[in-house]
Amino acid sequence: MKIRAAVLNASPVSAPYAQSRPLSIEEVELAPPGPGEVLVRVRAAGLCHSDLSVIDGNRPRPVPMVLGHEAAGEVVEPGPGVQDLKKGDRVIMVFVPSCGHCSPCSEGRPALCEPGNAANGIGELIGGGRRLSAHGKPVHHHVGVSAFAEYAVISRHSLVKLEADIPHEIAALFGCAVLTGVGAAVNTAKVRAGETVAVVGLGGVGLSALMGAAACGASRVIAVDLSDEKLAIARDLGATDTFNAGDPGVIEAIRAATKGGVDHGLEMAGSVKALDLAYQITRRGGTTTTAGLANPAHTLSLAPVRLVGEERTLKGSYVGSCIPVRDIPRFVDLYLRGKLPVDKLMTSQSGLDGINEGFDALNEGRTIRHVIVM
């Protein structure tokens, strides 16, 4: 079938994107779903810094590629062998498919699925090959989803059925921002009631982590960012303290305010400077968790003697260490009960034709989550 999709034909591309137009709205061919796959009508897709990092070259991916990984939609046609989804079912898309059989999957860590990550790296579905093409040549999938399109063929392993009646544009955010941010606080850091938490970097993932820490019962949730506007949003979402990361002496100020540092420093900016700041404001014996995807060429320098002598822990968190089929329903339930105000993350929206302007807003910090509604 022929569909409209936002295709990235080259990378890196420089901003402003309203002028450089990295994403071209094109008619592409979408093949029918194969065994274990599902044809989905995409209803909403969020713009994420992980998409932006492909456009600007920080996360190299093969091109041409249909971007988009944070999305929700409706089942149009289950492929052969898919018995548990039917036409009309509402689904949330997950950007790391899990085979269920490799070592990480068998240990309950589907975000680290080896075949899933291998397929994502080469722009294929986990079942092998590509279902997208244009002018007789293959077009790559973005982390098994490619949601900046009217329709998508997706592995059943990349879909979570949505039972709750919530708007598609809100449901989409659970596929990345909420999974990654709330999951980092709940699953990776394992924040406990009464502990202190600092979140460095207040995009959609960072604000989700802040909400997750608050939902865990943290006694103080400290928000750190370069943007005073985002710090104001953080206060509305439950931050007890806010600090501008650009202020001189910010590390000393946070350590003084928390009597030696926080129990948990959460880095969500995808920046080595942000990670270093999060590490420096974590107390002796505390844990620093990073979920930000920095440029692969960038490295962090730290003194091992502090890691040992202060019994510090530095952890990575991918997809919030989540089991999506378990955690998405839990997080949706918290949203419905008012514990996770996810709707406040969506600060702008447009149709597919406004996607380049949406990435300008994201890149310039003028929006938390811009959602493409179709």
CATH architecture observed for domain 181-317: 3-Layer(aba) Sandwich (3.40)
Alpha-carbon distance 319 to 298, whole Å? Answer: 21
Tell me the pLDDT tens digit for each residue of 124-138.
999 999 999 999 999
Determine whether 252 is exposed, middle or buried from the number of CB atoms within 10 Å of its CB (0-12, 13-18, 19+): exposed
Q: Report which residue type is found at 133.
A: S
Task: Determine the 3-state secondary structure of 118 from DSSP.
Answer: helix
- The per-residue pLDDT for 99 is 92
Distance of CA 113 to the CA centre of its chain: 17
241 sits in which H/E element: strand 241-244
Alpha-carbon distance 228 to 312, whole Å? Answer: 30
User: Can you list the pairs that 295-299 forms with residues at least 24 positions away whose Cβ atoms lie under 8 Å?
Assistant: 295/53, 295/58, 295/59, 296/58, 296/59, 298/272, 299/272
Alpha-carbon distance 68 to 50, whole Å? Answer: 9
pTM for the model: 0.96
Rounded to the nearest 5 degrees, what angle is found at the Cα of 273, between the Cα atoms of 271 and 274?
Answer: 65
Tell me the pLDDT tens digit for each residue of 250-277.
999 999 999 999 999 999 999 999 999 9
Phi, psi of 121 (to 5 degrees): -65, -25
Helix boundaries (H) for the chain: 17-20, 49-55, 103-106, 114-122, 168-171, 177-183, 204-215, 228-236, 250-257, 272-280, 304-309, 324-336, 355-363
Alpha-carbon distance 7 to 332, whole Å? Answer: 31
pLDDT tens for the 374 residues of the chain, in order: 999 999 999 999 999 999 999 999 999 999 999 999 999 999 999 999 999 999 999 999 999 999 999 999 999 999 999 999 999 999 999 999 999 999 999 999 999 999 999 999 999 999 999 999 999 999 999 999 999 999 999 999 999 999 999 999 999 999 999 999 999 999 999 999 999 999 999 999 999 999 999 999 999 999 999 999 999 999 999 999 999 999 999 999 999 999 999 999 999 999 999 999 999 999 999 999 999 988 888 999 999 999 999 999 999 999 999 999 999 999 999 999 999 999 999 999 999 999 999 999 999 999 999 999 99
Tell me the pLDDT tens digit for each residue of 57-103.
999 999 999 999 999 999 999 999 999 999 999 999 999 999 999 99
**The CATH fold of domain 2-175+341-373:** Quinone Oxidoreductase; Chain A, domain 1 (3.90.180)
Alpha-carbon distance 250 to 60, whole Å? Answer: 33
Task: Determine the 3-state secondary structure of 263 from DSSP.
Answer: strand
- The per-residue pLDDT for 55 is 97
Name 244's bridge partners: 225
- The per-residue pLDDT for 88 is 97
- The per-residue pLDDT for 295 is 87
Name 221's bridge partners: 197
* Tokens 């899933």 belong to residue: 116
Spatial CA neighbour of 38 closest among 84, 98, 100, 7: 84
Asked if residues 129 and 80 have their Cβ atoms less than 8 Å apart, the reply is: no
284 sits in which H/E element: strand 282-290
Phi, psi of 232 (to 5 degrees): -65, -40
Q: Which residues contact 130 (CB under 8 A, 6 or more apart)?
A: 123, 124, 138, 139, 140, 141
* Straight-line distance from the first to the last Cα atom of the chain, in angstroms, rounded to the nearest whole number: 17
- Token representation of residue 261: 């540092």
Read off the DSSP letter of residue 193: T
Residues of the chain with CATH 3.90.180.10: 2-175+341-373
Alpha-carbon distance 173 to 324, whole Å? Answer: 13
Q: Which residues contact 267 (CB under 8 A, 6 or more apart)?
A: 200, 201, 274, 275, 277, 278, 288, 289, 290, 291, 292
Residues of the chain with CATH 3.40.50.720: 181-317
